Structure 1
Amino acid sequence: MTVMNENPISESRFVQATDTRRSARIGAETISTITVAILCVVLLLGARFISPSLGSWSQVETVLVLGSFLVVLSFGQGLVILSGGLDLSMPAVVTLGGILATNWVGATDPGAWYLLPVVLLVCGAVGFLSAAGIVWLRVPPFIMTLAMSIIVASVLLGYTNGTPRGSAPDAALALMKGHLFGLPTPVLFLVAFVIFGWLFQSRSIFGRYLYAIGTNVEAARIAGAPVTAMRILPYVVSAISAGFVGIMLVGYSNGATLRMGDSYLLPSIAAVVIGGSSILGGRGTFLGTVGGAILLTTLGTIISAIGLEFGLRTIIEGAIVLVALLLLREELFQKLGSLWR
């Protein structure tokens, strides 16, 4: 008996079809990425009018070091959004990574770096549970990840009795406070991570699958994409990224707190949106996300240097996200493209 192939389109044809769809969007994504990069430069240069120290190289290094947390976090969030989902469990998973790093490594043997991958595996398991509820139980991503965030935060509260123990592992301290070739180690790590994230999202088959799934799940399934696996992968990567940010924060601040990840949820989403990604999925670049993360970090640094209140800072950040949503719409870039032609 002859068995008919339900997915007649080979992987090479799938890649070619995906590249064709993405080429139609490359103009808008490139323009949005360049726009965000220009805004970062203008903001840094304009800061010198407020204070000469704000535009100095040391200040740029500070922005890059602080921005590295948001860049890593936004990488995972960007993959989830690209696939058409949303991850609200990030703050709790950031805290999970930080607390486990200080309790399992810092409290016993600060040099036991080999336990840090185990911490990341635990964080990845949280992402897998979120994805399982979304994919197999059909719970909306907003509800599932929010519920997982509450569960993890509650477990951590009971596990620590309200007071996290331990200190930063040596590996985390070396990553966040070391120097190499005359540059801070976090800056070199950021450059390497940006290259890795760009290759993963824009040049790998996994990234192409995510673009296709975010655009149209059923079309991607017919084209032969492993839809179930690719819907789970972003949440696992997002959780691992969040856990790694928790380890980074521990190395930067020498300790963990129960609310260390709370301030990163909205910025992780805002960085993705400001970078030109569609909140509905299927469109966006990691380089744009990096620009959005650096832009928000630069803005926060300048506002803190000026001495504005936290409430006003939040209002300004929210206004920037709104303006980005209005200015970086695809319709606007289509009009600009028609005028250019």
Structure 2
Amino acid sequence: MLNLKTTAAQNEAHASQHYSRSADTRGSVKVQRETINAIAVFVVCGLALFLSKFINAEFGSLRQLQTILTLTSFLIVISFGQGLTILIGGLDLSVPSVVTLGGVLAASWMSMLSPNGAWWQIPTILLVCGAVGVFNGLGIILCRIPPFIMTLASAVIVYSLCLGVTGGTVSGAAPGSLVSLMTGHVGTVPIVNVFVVIFCAAAVFVQSKTSFGQRLYALGSNSLAAKIAGVRINGITLLTYTISATLAGFAGMMLVGYSNGATLRMGDGYLLPSIAAVVIGGSSILGGRGNYLGTIGGAILLTIFDVVITSLELSQGWRTMISGGLILAAILLQHEGALDRIRSAVHRRTR
């Protein structure tokens, strides 16, 4: 019995030391590697904007940049929550349905009660959307359902509820408060651009500078070591999926203000881009590594490609293909030794 206790204590001490070492080394490695990734993504964004001027002379102008930032705002909000779930080694496939849920509630319920939407309706809708995240988290924690399956199942349930309640047609228009957020201006600057800057600053602070953010990194890097070190894994997991769903619902409300209405397919185009923005920004799809600055750059890059494709009048298929290709390229570049194996294979074939 004494030997067993001694062995268990040694294992716990070893895991705690591993967590401490990983936390220390991650500080320097994360700053170096992830900062370089984020800078590289923004450099590519600048290059893409420069090259796009050969397609349309308007690209690169101040007005065009404001438009791109407005169009990126939805993906920036969604991808922060998606990035948090990926950071802990999970995934949120319920994003499209929750975007639709937030949009449907904003268009039908808010406009029905008040043309401008009462202030208390926004947090109420966010609570409803956040409940989907709680449902996801509880299924993953208590029932041990893999995040891929759990969030996919909740996506089907939420979409079916929206379809059943609306009968396939969403009634109501955008409340004035949401329209003002998405189309109003402070001088010559769109209000939504100001909101995006504030949101990004707050999100970077939360993920990089708070104890909650550090626990996310710890959980994604080594869940056993994090648990032994005192990280409340279940609580962090539940909160992460709740944040993801809440932000997806808010993005749906933003879409209603921008387009002055809601549809049952309004969230469909944000699942793959939300994952792509995170991975392109340098986050590991296996968890434990990520930088929201890189995610912002990834979201902007995808939006630039969308705008260019739209100006060329290409189909949606090209957008999906580009997103998928960028995800694959980002994963290959992140995988240790992948480039060396590719070079070796090319060298063998050319000999």
TM > 0.5 between the two?
yes
Alignment CA distance shift 1:332-1:193 (3 Å): farther
1:223-242 equivalent positions in 2, closer than 5 A: 223-242=229-248
Give the C-alpha shift of residue 333 in structure 1.
10
Distance in 2 between the 1:325 and 1:235 partners? 23
Contact conserved, 2:284 with 2:334, CA < 8 A, in 1? no
**Secondary structure, in 3 states, of the residue corresponding to 1:139?**
coil
Whole-angstrom CA distance in 2 between matches of 1:177 and 1:331: 47
Aligned counterpart, 2:285 = 279
d(CA) in 2 for partners of 1:293, 1:331: 27
Kept in 2: contact 1:98–1:247 (CA 8 A) = yes
- The Cα offsets for residues 63-82 of structure 1, whole Å up to 9 and x where unpaired, read as 10000000000000000000
3-state SS of 2:58 partner: helix
For 1:180 and 1:71, the matched residues in 2 are separated by 21
Question: How do 1:161-180 residues align onto structure 2 when only pairs under 5 Å count?
Answer: 161-180=167-186
Which of 235, 252, 257 in structure 2 is aligned with 1:251? 257
Offset of 1:110 from its aligned partner? 2.4
TM-score under structure 1 length normalisation: 0.91
Shift in CA distance, 332/204, structure 1 to aligned 2, threshold 3 Å? farther
Residue of structure 2 in register with 1:187 after alignment: 193
* Correspondence 1:86 to 2:91: yes
Quick check: 2:84–2:244 contact (8 Å CA) kept in 1? yes
Distance 2:259 2:76 in 1: 18
Alignment match of 1:295 (pick from 301, 304, 307): 301
| TM-aligned CA deviation for residue 26 of structure 1 | 2.4
Q: CA deviation at 1:272?
A: 0.3
The amino acid of 1:323's aligned partner reads A
**In structure 2, what is the equivalent of residue 337 of structure 1?**
none
* Mapped partners of 1:253, 1:16: distance in 2: 49
Question: What percent of counterpart residues are identical?
Answer: 52
Larger Rg: 2
Between the aligned partners of 2:337 and 2:187, the Cα distance in structure 1 is 45
Shift of 1:312: 2.4
Q: Matched residues in 1 for 2:195 and 2:209: separation?
A: 20
**Which of 316, 327, 339 is the equivalent residue of 1:321?**
327
One-letter amino acid of the structure 1 residue matched with residue 215 of structure 2: Y
Structure 1 counterpart of 2:36:
31
Structure 1, gaps ≥5 residues long:
9-13, 335-341
Alpha-carbon separation, structure 1, partners of 2:134 and 2:178: 25
The match for 1:338 is none
Aligned to 2:318: 312
TM-score normalised to the size of structure 2?
Answer: 0.88
Aligned residue in 1 for 2:349: none
Query: Partners in 2 of 1:79 and 1:289 — Cα distance?
Result: 11
Which SS does the other structure have where 1:53 is aligned? coil
1:97 is aligned to 102
Q: Which amino acid letter does the alignment assign opposite residue 281 of structure 2?
A: G
What's 1:339 paired with? none
Deviations 1:284-330 (A, max 9, x none): 10000000000000111111111122222322332222222223445
1:83–1:214 Cα contact (<8 Å) kept? yes
Q: Is the 8 A contact 1:107 1:165 kept in 2?
A: no
Q: Is contact 2:276-2:326 (8 Å) kept?
A: no
Quote the residue 1:205 is aligned against.
211
Name whichever of 172-181 and 146-155 sits farther off: 172-181
Q: How far is the alpha carbon of 1:223 from its aligned partner?
A: 0.7
Give CA deviations for 1:61-100 in whole Å, capped at 9, x if unaligned: 1110000000000000000000110000000000000111
Out of 132, 135, 153, the position equivalent to 2:138 is 132
Q: Partners of 1:78 and 1:124 in 2: how far apart? A: 16
Unaligned runs of 5+ in 2: 1-8, 14-18, 341-351
Match of 2:78 in 1: 73
Q: Cα–Cα, structure 1 residues 106 and 331, in superposed 2: closer, same or farther, change >3 Å?
A: farther
Conservation of the 8 A alpha-carbon contact between 1:113 and 1:169: no
User: 1-side partners of 2:25 and 2:322: how far apart?
Assistant: 38
How far apart are the structure 2 equivalents of 1:326 and 1:211? Answer: 22
Cα distance between partner residues in 2 of 1:302 and 1:156: 33
Secondary structure of the residue aligned to 1:113 is: coil
- CA drift of 1:265 comes to 0.3
